[in-house]
Structure 1
Amino acid sequence: MTGHIAEKKALYASAVINLMMAFSGWLAYHYSNSQAILLDGNYSFIAFFVTLIAIRITLIKTKLTETFPFGQYVYEALFSFGKGLMVIGILLVALIMSISRISHYLNDSPVNVLNTSTVLIYTIVMLSMCIPLAWYCQHENKKVNNSSMILRAEYIGSKTDAIMSFLTGIVLFSIGFLDIDGRFGFLYFTGDAILVIVLVLFLVKDPVILARDSFVEMAGGTLQNKNEKQKIEAILKEVLTFDLMKSSYISKTGSNYFIVAYVSAQDIDEIGFEQLEYLKKETLVALKKNYRYVMFEIALA
């Protein structure tokens, strides 16, 4: 299966499941009055909308145009960057809403009481969709050596949704066993707000890293994945014999890799341009065994 087909299958599945999760979240919020569940539902709906954009990107990324003569892979990085910012934005809004809810409670303003009767069913339904989707996106990305930023973004999104759903369900279900007039009765009014604050602090790392790596890709920076970089360098050293390679430059934009091996002028004179061209072709063949979209060049050190 090609990387293109793997991406399309995973994205179509992600779009359908995210829409189902959004409606589930809104319905559960209607009965529970939980800000944490509303956050979950809104997150899923925006994820559905963004996934539709990702599907379009997978259809055009390999097309060559006058503006993008090497392909439109930058849209993949732009998508991942945008999704990272989107998740950060949703978490930030949820944080502000939760702080506001706690502030209202402390100031004796009216605050809706949590209804935890539907939480367990909601949690089971959400986890039955989130966990398989996260696993599927990660599984499909592994088929293309984790080169798809789009599938990485979908995996992070699904994993974030799964964690939010699980922790929300556990905490809110547990609150249902408390006496509303007892010592911890305040949790019926602020429990989900406290939970959202904890979730935001716990979940914000992944989207920040995603946005950072995507920005580096768009700016033409070097590959940030150290393991992937070592793997590519090993392929280069295996093919480029005679200790030719002095250094290398490895960058990635979306699912496309651009790799340069630097060779000294003296070494080029010794082996000749014909042999150098042969080694370049052999290196490209070796790289394409692991990376579908790759460009390789040899330059003077």
Structure 2
Amino acid sequence: MHQNIEKRAIIVAAVLGMVMALSGWLAYYLSGSEALLLDGNFSFIGVVATLAALKISSVKTQTSKTYPFGKFVFEATYSLFIGILTVGVIIAAVTENISKIMRYTRGETFPVVDASIILVYTIAMVVICFGLAFYFRAANRKLNGTSTILGAYTVQSGIDGLMSLGAGVTLVAFSTIDPAGEWGFLTQIGDALLVITLCALVLYQPIGLIRSSFIEMSGGALGDKVARDDIRTKILAQVPEDQVEDMFISKTGSAFLAVAFVSPEFFDAHSAAEQQKMRADVMAALTPSYPHLGFDFVMAPDVKS
């Protein structure tokens, strides 16, 4: 069921992502707005990445000698790639539009943006983008937020939606300005200023995606407090809390690892059969929400030695 939900969402992303990319490029061609070009480029990032996501979704649970615990690290690698690619597009867009502003200050003029189709484009893209973001978030919630791929898609769709909304509303407003008036410069470089502003507003999202993906790939502790507390609570419901000195929980893609550091008395007080039953009880409690989770007991290190 986990893979079916994820795969269905990825296919939806591929189809609608291509529609948005083509729409953005067509709107750029017809209107001349750099903001719509950026919008189309963001959409195309999602389409390109979907090819990898479909493959990862189908092979991540497969084991081999090289990947005895599955290929879940590919999910984190994918999200890292999406984050880096998105930052790259943002940097390229900012660089291009800063150059346009500098050329304008040196006396160069540019064609006025044609806003005749922007309003229709904006409404359509905002509905699609925010609809997709809501859909991906809802699908990931069904998986208890365990899908790194759907998390990446949620971020990407949100960025697309903000870009479309901000670009459309602002460009339509710019179209009402008198080119010969005090604010006439906005008819020349308004879209460039808009692109730079939007890029600054959304840059934190791909940076956050890169950070979380890097933590996953390097085996760091789980940053999702809700999931961390949920896993910890379910473990302590099956294991004597007074014998658990610490706990480590990490996530790689949609795979989780939980380790309970227990006191030496735990191994003295519980036979191998009792320990095995506790493991089974913990797994039974966690597997419905976290189907790809490993759990075990480890003796807590003696910090005094």
| TM-score (normalizing by structure 2) | 0.96
How far is the alpha carbon of 1:40 from its aligned partner?
Answer: 0.6
Distance 1:41 1:242 in 2: 53
Residue 241 of structure 1 and its aligned partner are, at CA, apart by 2.5
When residues 37 and 267 of structure 1 are mapped into structure 2, their CA distance, relative to the original with a 3 A threshold, is: same
What is the CA deviation profile of residues 108-140 of structure 1, one whole-angstrom value per residue up to 9, with x for unaligned ones? 124232111111011012112112111111010
Structure 2 distance, partners of 1:44, 1:146, is 23
Cα offset for 1:211?
A: 0.7
Measure, in 2, the Cα distance between the counterparts of 1:205 and 1:191.
Answer: 23
Distance between the aligned counterparts of 1:59 and 1:234, measured in 2?
31
Distance 2:232 2:265 in 1: 22
Gaps of 5+ in 2: 301-305
Cα offset, 1:243, TM superposition: 2.3
Counterpart amino acid of residue 121 in structure 2: Y
Please name the residue that 2:68 is paired with.
69
Displacement after TM superposition at 1:73 (Å): 0.2
Matches within 5 A, 1:85-100: 85-100=84-99
**3-state secondary structure, aligned to 1:299:** strand
Q: Is residue 101–residue 111 contact of structure 1 (8 Å, CA) maintained in 2?
A: no
- Distance in 1 (alpha carbons) for counterparts of 2:2 and 2:266: 37
Match of 1:188 in 2: 187
- Whether the aligned pair in 2 keeps the contact of 1:262 and 1:300 (CA below 8 Å) is yes
Counterpart-to-counterpart distance in 2, 1:7 and 1:103: 45
Identify the residue that residue 134 of structure 2 maps to in structure 1: 135
Q: Secondary structure at the match of 1:239?
A: coil
* Residue 81 (structure 2) aligns with: 82
Rounded Cα–Cα distance in structure 2 between residues aligned with 1:191 and 1:147? 41
Listed one character per residue, the Cα deviations across residues 121-164 of structure 1 (whole Å, up to 9, x for unaligned) are 11012112112111111010000000101000001000100000
Indicate conservation of the 8 Å contact 1:104/1:111, yes or no: no
Q: 1: CA distance between counterparts of 2:200 and 2:13?
A: 25
Q: Matches of 1:114 and 1:188 in 2, distance apart?
A: 7
Unaligned runs of 5+ in 1: none
| Aligned mates of 1:40, 1:267 — CA distance in 2 | 57
Question: Do the aligned residues in 1 keep the contact of 2:45 with 2:86 (CA within 8 Å)?
Answer: no
Say which SS state the counterpart of residue 298 (structure 1) adopts.
Answer: strand
The CA deviation string for residues 207-226 of structure 1, in whole angstroms up to 9 with x for no partner, is 11111000110111111112
In structure 2, how many angstroms separate the alpha carbons of the residues matched to 1:236 and 1:264?
15
RMSD: 1.0
**Alpha carbons 1:239, 1:279 under 8 Å: kept:** yes
Whether 1:170 aligns to 2:169 is yes
Count of residue pairs brought into register by the alignment: 300
Secondary structure of the residue aligned to 2:68 is coil
Which shows bigger deviation, 227-236 or 187-196?
Answer: 227-236
Deviations along 1:236-290, one digit per CA (max 9) or x if unpaired, are 1111126221111111000000111111112210222221111111111111121
How far does the alpha carbon of each residue in 1:192-238 deviate from its partner, in whole angstroms, 9 at most, with x for none? 11111111111011111111000110111111112221111111111
Q: Distance in 1 between matches of 2:95 and 2:26?
A: 23
What residue is the counterpart of 2:287 in the other structure?
Answer: 288
Structure 2 CA distance for aligned equivalents of residues 122 and 267 of structure 1: 64
Q: Per-residue deviation at 1:44?
A: 0.9
Pick closer, same or farther for the CA change 1:122–1:187 going to 2, 3 Å: same
Where 1:210 maps in the other structure, the secondary structure is: helix
TM-score w.r.t. the length of structure 1 is 0.97
Query: Residues 53-109 of structure 1: CA distance to partner in whole angstroms, max 9, x if unpaired?
Result: 101100000000110000000000000011011111111111111111111111112
1:216-255 → structure 2 map (5 Å cutoff) = 216-241=215-240, 243-255=242-254
CA distance in 2, matches of 1:247, 1:57: 33
